[in-house]
């Protein structure tokens, strides 16, 4: 087949190969969604929201480049404007609804709470802009999506019990204190329940404190870190049926932790402090 006779589908596939997760366009500023109809005779109404600044692709790269005949659409989220206060919350890991994208002004971010499907034939007609400039940024964007769509729904009583702990960690994380240095030496906090979450009698809790590698810690000694943070965990006022396990804190690293302990525990959203810092440095 000559170049002039090239299958249009092959051309689309070649253009799709230029796209990856996190790429965006400023061409599309309309978001389509369903709402309660103004006309009561219809079950729903299609509405266009034209307030977006553009759209970012959140489909995985492997799905973007997959053959149209197998997977004809991709998923996009709007790019929206935010104020400086919201931007600061995102950088601290306190606003999982939003994701940071390269190549746009600081007051524009991805809004993961709204999404729509678009055909790949339409996607390749948009002007593509690279949204993740290196592998680390690609991983950071993927982790942002995983965090928003994959977070475990802890029981209300558990979340309420940890509210003061969360406030303390968010407020002390950047401080030049022993607690601040200890918190910045933590990579992730995971929760191990020693009973089913819905057990009505008692659910003892252990926190796995996953530390950064030695070179990346501000405190190298584990006992120093444990002593600095223990008071905040000891003061948790548990709501029933939750309580502290006799081994409330267990300090470890990813290389030391067993696969079983990792899979049987649940990531606490406090780990996003460390994640957000790495994303900004990438």
Considering the domain architecture, whether residues 65 and 169 belong to the same structural domain is answered as no
CA gap 273, 248 in Å, rounded: 21
**pLDDT of the residue at 170:** 83
Does 29 or 9 have the greater pLDDT score? 29
Same domain for 17 and 141, yes or no, is yes
- Do 161 and 37 reside in the same domain of the chain? no
pLDDT at 125: 94
Residues 138 and 164 in one domain: no
**Once rounded to an integer, what is the mean pLDDT over residues 153-179?**
91
**Among 107, 122, 150, which residue terminates a domain?**
150
Confidence of residue 9 (pLDDT cuts 50, 70, 90): low
The per-residue pLDDT for range 85-94, each reduced to its tens digit, is 888 888 777 7
Mean pLDDT, all residues of the chain? 89
Please report where in the chains the tokens 């509405």 appear, as a residue.
Answer: 47
pLDDT at residue 141 is higher than 70: yes
At 10 the pLDDT is: 78
Domain count, the chain: 2
Q: What is the pLDDT of residue 90?
A: 82
Q: pTM of this prediction?
A: 0.77
Question: Percent of the chain having pLDDT more than 70?
Answer: 92
Looking at residue 37, its pLDDT comes to 87
Can you list the alpha helix ranges (DSSP code H) found in 33-155?
61-64, 84-91, 120-123, 135-150
Higher pLDDT, 151 or 131: 131
Say how far apart CA 244 and CA 233 lie, in whole Å: 9
Are the beta carbons of 96 and 147 closer than 8 angstroms?
A: yes
CA 174 distance to own-chain centroid:
21
Q: Go through 71-101 and write b for each residue having 16 or more CB atoms within 10 A of its CB, e for each that does not.
A: eebbbbbbbbebeeebbebbeebebbebbbb
Is residue 47 predicted with pLDDT exceeding 80?
yes
Q: Indicate the pLDDT class of residue 181, thresholds 50, 70 and 90.
A: very high
Q: Strand locations in 16-125, DSSP E? A: 24-25, 31-35, 45-49, 54-57, 73-81, 98-99, 108-111, 116-119
Average pLDDT over residues 76-83: 95
pLDDT of residue 203: 97
Tell whether 54 and 186 lie within a shared domain. Answer: no
Q: Is residue 2 part of a domain?
A: no
pLDDT at 42: 83
Is 1 within a domain? no
CB atoms within 10 A of CB 231: 10
The whole-number pLDDT of residue 234 equals: 96
In the predicted structure, residue 4 carries a pLDDT above the cut 70: no
Kindly report, residue by residue over 224-281, the tens digit of the pLDDT: 999 999 999 999 999 999 999 999 999 999 999 999 999 999 988 764 444 444 444 4
The parent domain of residue 197 ranges over 156-281
116: left (phi over 0), alpha (psi -120 to 50) or beta: beta
Same domain, 141 and 260: no
């Amino acid at each position: 087949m000559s170049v002039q006779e090239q299958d249009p589908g092959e051309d689309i596939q070649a253009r799709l190969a230029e796209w990856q997760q996190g790429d965006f366009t400023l061409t599309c500023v309309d978001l389509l969604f369903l709402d309660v109809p103004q006309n009561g005779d219809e079950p729903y109404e299609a509405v266009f929201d034209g307030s977006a600044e553009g759209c970012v692709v959140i489909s995985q790269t492997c799905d973007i480049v997959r053959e149209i005949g197998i997977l004809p659409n991709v998923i996009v989220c709007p790019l929206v404007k935010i104020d400086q206060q919201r931007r600061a919350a995102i950088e601290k890991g306190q606003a999982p609804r939003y994701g940071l994208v390269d190549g746009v002004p600081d007051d524009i971010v991805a809004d993961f709470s709204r999404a729509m499907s678009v055909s790949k034939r339409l996607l390749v007609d948009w002007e593509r802009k690279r949204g993740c400039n290196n592998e680390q940024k690609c991983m950071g964007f993927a982790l942002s999506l995983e965090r928003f769509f994959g977070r475990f729904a802890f029981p209300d009583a558990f979340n309420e019990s940890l509210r003061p702990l969360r406030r303390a960690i968010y407020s002390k994380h950047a401080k030049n204190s022993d607690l601040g240095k200890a918190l910045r030496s933590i990579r992730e906090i995971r929760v191990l329940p020693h009973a089913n979450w819905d057990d009505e009698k008692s659910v003892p809790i252990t926190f796995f404190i996953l530390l950064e590698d030695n070179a990346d810690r501000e405190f190298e000694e584990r006992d120093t870190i444990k002593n600095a943070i223990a008071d905040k965990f000891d003061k948790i006022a548990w709501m029933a049926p939750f309580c502290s396990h006799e081994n409330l804190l267990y300090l470890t690293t990813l290389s030391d932790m067993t696969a079983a302990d990792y899979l049987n525990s649940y990531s606490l959203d406090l780990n996003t402090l460390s994640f957000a810092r790495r994303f900004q440095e990438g």
